[in-house]
Amino acid sequence: MIEQLFGSKTRVKLLQLFYSNPNRSFYVREITRKIDEQINSVRRELSNLLSIGIIVSDTTNNRLYYEVNQKFEYHEPLSQIFGGGLAPAGSTATPGTEAGETDIKSIGNVELAVYTGQLTRDESTGVDVFLVGDMNQARLNKFMTDLEMKEGKELRYAVMSVDDFTYRREINDRFVANLLAAKKQVLIDKRNILQQTTATES
């Protein structure tokens, strides 16, 4: 039914990819691999979504990237349909994520999980995956290995306990401050840590 409403299977897959991954940017061949559709069909639908304003594009290192336009007037209702929940332009948790929130939860008691760095084209943090909580190292290693295979690149990650993260945030630790300011996709935020930080700063 959704395919009938929105015109094509490729378009629906693209909308699901973009709205499930706010603040993530993808290039064409990466998109074709992730949604398993022909490149000509993907290019055609990307052009349609660009013309409507649903997505935006940007060039980095001679490569054209696409991401969801969070300022689009119908962003929130489309996010409810394709992303699993509202995804405002700030940094709030997104229930529907391509990598799979369930996969992350399986590695232990994860209080906060964030994609940044290479995954959002913001290198200010120096890491690509940041996790807060109490995790099983073997399961964490497997999760990172699987994620690297899925993304097709080597990824850097950092892990902190809740107490360590809270302390470093309170003393305005540079790494944590950069992370909070960076462009990121939030997969899990059980205690609304990021919202609390935003409220404190404002």
pLDDT tens column, 73-110: 998 999 888 885 433 333 333 333 444 455 788 899 99
- Global pTM value: 0.71
Q: 34-47, pLDDT tens digit by residue?
A: 999 999 999 999 99
* CA nearest neighbour of 93 among 194, 19, 182, 6: 194
Instruction: Tell whether the model's pLDDT for residue 117 goes beyond 90.
Output: yes
Based on the structure, what is the number of domains in the chain? 2
| pLDDT higher at 6 or 27 | 27
Residue 121 and residue 144: Cα distance in Å, rounded?
18
Count of helix runs (H) and strand runs (E) in the chain: 10, 7
**Of 145, 137, 125, 132, residue with least CA distance to 187:** 132
pLDDT above 70: residue 66: yes
Residue corresponding to tokens 């990237």: 65
For 52-125, list the strands marked E by DSSP.
55-60, 63-68, 108-115
**Final residue in a domain of this structure, among 82, 109, 139:** 82
46 with 120, same domain? no
Q: Which two tokens stand for residue 114?
A: 């964030």
105 and 74, same domain (yes or no): no
Residue 87 in any domain: the answer is no
Specify if 53 maps to a domain: yes
Q: Give me the CATH number covering residue 186.
A: 3.30.460
Range(s) of the domain holding residue 62:
2-82
Kindly state whether residue 94 falls inside one of the protein's structural domains.
Answer: no
Say yes or no: 105 and 195 in one domain. yes
> How would you class 107 by CB atoms within 10 Å of its CB: exposed for 0-12, middle for 13-18, buried for 19 or more?
buried
